[in-house]
Structure 1
């Protein structure tokens, strides 16, 4: 089957595919996105379709897998964002806003805690804190991404332990805000 005939054939299933997408997403815009992703994948992988098999079932399988992969990706992203206990600049800002002298002491303590970190923990942590992604840090330091994640986690734990005295202050500031 040539590509034009294949495209016409898959578009003949557009109504049922859109309905199937809507049954997954329960939102018309998300269903439209899922439908378009499915069609794009079907066209890109048309060479993998075996003529004489059920085209509609093949398209449904692509759609289902696309939805599942998208769901897993968004669930993982959400879990990472809500579960991690980051030592972020906004929390550091809260701890340094009472007045200039107290803020200076806090920042001095943070810098001292950072200086105590071993270089293998300090470098990935600082890069992550500056906004670099895990894979970018791994590439730059030429270490596996899992090692980067572990070192950042360990650095975070060490810093939290050394700066524990400020955790009560940050918690009380968050309740006020």
Structure 2
């Protein structure tokens, strides 16, 4: 696909991206910034897009990763500003290594829980998580839209049950939305 036609195709998805960004940020200005960053990255890295694949899914992935990276940067800045006491290097080292290990276990548990889902629940749930709309999932899987909604709901409930230990520990899960 030529660069110009890809840019035009990317811009056609701007409205969908704005709606998706608003779900992440809950703020119109932040959502617009996220869309702009996403479009810039998509145009800059257009050579990584494989023609014939789902352009909207590719853009949603860029947006999700951009949001996560910006959130992490913001969390670090906020933590630096809010810290009023000086920490020595051994405390910092212990804190950083504890977070990495804990995050590793959390991710392992999430992947394990996803792996245990029945395919009938897992496939629609993952497609929805990737940014597909209900009707797109229904069309692709050739099942009624009501079935798609039910399966996604059931997958959420199963995952909530399997990962409830993290919500009790002060973790916020994306599944509780």
| TM-score, normalised by the number of residues in structure 1 | 0.48
| TM-score, normalised by the number of residues in structure 2 | 0.48
Which has the greater radius of gyration?
A: 1
